[in-house]
Structure 1
Amino acid sequence: MSAPSILLADDHATMRAGFRMILEASGIEVVGEAATGVEAVERAAHLAPDVVFMDVQMPDMDGIEATRRILEAGSRASVVIVTTFDRDDYLFAALDAGASGFLLKNAGPEELVQAARIAASGDALLAPEVTRRVIKRYGAAEHMPVTASGEFSAELTEREADVLRLLATAMSNAEIARELYIGEATVKTHVSNILQKTGSRDRVAAVVWAYRNAMA
């Protein structure tokens, strides 16, 4: 996979400069920067990055609304919320808006680079502690045979069930492929089938479904 392209959206120039230095030193292309939510939406449409690192508190439009507008416009970018504040309201609002991950600004350089690569590959950044908070919020303890969208689901195959259980442990596609001794492309196919069968919008919703149906 080629190096991902990144759009940095943060109202602090020093923060953007620091992120740029770290990412570019690892061969990741920073294709643009935005200092406001409005700029982030406009530049995401114009630059078509693979990933957007999005701050929450910005002028003109906050990062949550900017995330929603970027994705509603049809962008294929993965949006990762990068914030100083480890707050549940930010976390859940970001996931509801379609964000693929949630990262704190005190993350180390290696974690930042890894987040960019994981998001660009289509994986969600689901740290176990974040997953637990998501499950608690969405009532995962209710083991009811329904999908995330409330519709009856077709049965998963045995292999799809294996993949879903590993998704629920925060494994990436590459890690799942190694664990199950299958190709990464095969994992992506299984994940796509899982999302369709469970009525899940994304990997986060699929993990919620797994917990609700006592599969994780």
Structure 2
Amino acid sequence: MQGEVRVLLVDDHAVVRQGYRHLLEKSNIQVVAESDSGEEAYRLYTETDPDVVIIDLSMPGMGGLEALRRIISRDRNARVLVFSMHDDAIFPTRALQAGAFGYVTKASAPEVLVEAVMAIAHNRKYVSHDIAQQVAVHNISGGDILNILSSREFEVFTLLAQGRSVEEIAASLHLDYKTIANVQTRLRQKLNVENSAQLMLLAIRLNIIKT
């Protein structure tokens, strides 16, 4: 591509976005819009048509994974880079399966984010080196128990593990209560847990949430 790379920056922390904007614009990458939620990110994507979307996974309301799915559903050529604190292999694996072009952890050096944006803008996949080996091993070995979950089930699992109620999850994903309640039931059956406390303990053991 020619000219300045245009980016939509999505993170729910304003101070964090400010730091990323400064870093990117020093490298001739234009931040055309910012968002603090998945819902707004989806709307801004249609309005600004960026070359690359940089999105966090953990945000209030619609999470980054659901926003990623909706953007890809609208535009299968969208280039989305997930930039997240989650460094367990299951998260980049799920993001890439959902259509992300790349995944970079927030523990990476600043120049890695710039390198990833430029690679993705030129239609090249990018996974930061600190998790690339984990992802490869995870995929070769067949991963873990969470591989039996569908994309929707995994999304609901992570939200339940964060302590969100069925009502809150239904509202954030724009689905009805019964749909999420049914997903919760399937999760308990598939993961062999009896209640929310056991589900949360499993999430901690699998590094889905940090203590």
TM-score interval w.r.t. the shorter chain?
A: 0.5 to 0.7
| Cα distance in 2, alignment partners of residues 28 and 132 from structure 1 | 28
Q: Secondary structure at the match of 2:126?
A: coil
Instruction: Compare 39-48 and 119-128 and name the one that shifted more.
Output: 119-128
Q: Residue 128 of structure 1: CA displacement?
A: 5.5
| Cα distance in 1, alignment partners of residues 39 and 5 from structure 2 | 23
In the other structure, the counterpart of 2:95 is: 94
Q: Residue 29 of structure 1: CA displacement?
A: 0.6
In the other structure, the counterpart of 1:71 is: 72
- Gap runs ≥5 in structure 2: 143-211
CA pair 103-131 structure 1, distance change in 2 beyond 3 A: closer
Conserved? CA contact 1:100–1:119, under 8 Å: yes
| Cα distance in 1, alignment partners of residues 136 and 111 from structure 2 | 27
Cα displacement string for residues 45-104 of structure 1 (whole angstroms, at most 9, x for unaligned residues): 111101011101011111011111101101533111101121222111111111111111
In the other structure, the counterpart of 2:172 is: none
In the other structure, the counterpart of 2:145 is: none
In the other structure, the counterpart of 2:113 is: 112
State the one-letter code of the partner of 2:108: A
CA pair 120-136 structure 1, distance change in 2 beyond 3 A: same
| Cα distance in 2, alignment partners of residues 119 and 36 from structure 1 | 22
Conserved? CA contact 2:7–2:54, under 8 Å: yes
State the one-letter code of the partner of 1:112: L
Pairing of 1:168-183 with structure 2 (within 5 A): none
State the superposition RMSD in angstroms. 1.9
| Cα distance in 2, alignment partners of residues 80 and 68 from structure 1 | 12
TM-score of the pair, normalised by structure 2: 0.61
In the other structure, the counterpart of 2:54 is: 53
- Gap runs ≥5 in structure 1: 142-216
Identity %: 35
In the other structure, the counterpart of 1:29 is: 30
CA pair 131-112 structure 1, distance change in 2 beyond 3 A: closer
| Cα distance in 2, alignment partners of residues 51 and 140 from structure 1 | 31
Q: Residue 133 of structure 1: CA displacement?
A: 3.2
Conserved? CA contact 1:12–1:35, under 8 Å: yes
In the other structure, the counterpart of 2:40 is: 39
- Count matched residues: 141
CA pair 138-104 structure 1, distance change in 2 beyond 3 A: closer
In the other structure, the counterpart of 1:16 is: 17
Conserved? CA contact 1:50–1:76, under 8 Å: no
TM-score of the pair, normalised by structure 1: 0.60
State the one-letter code of the partner of 2:123: G
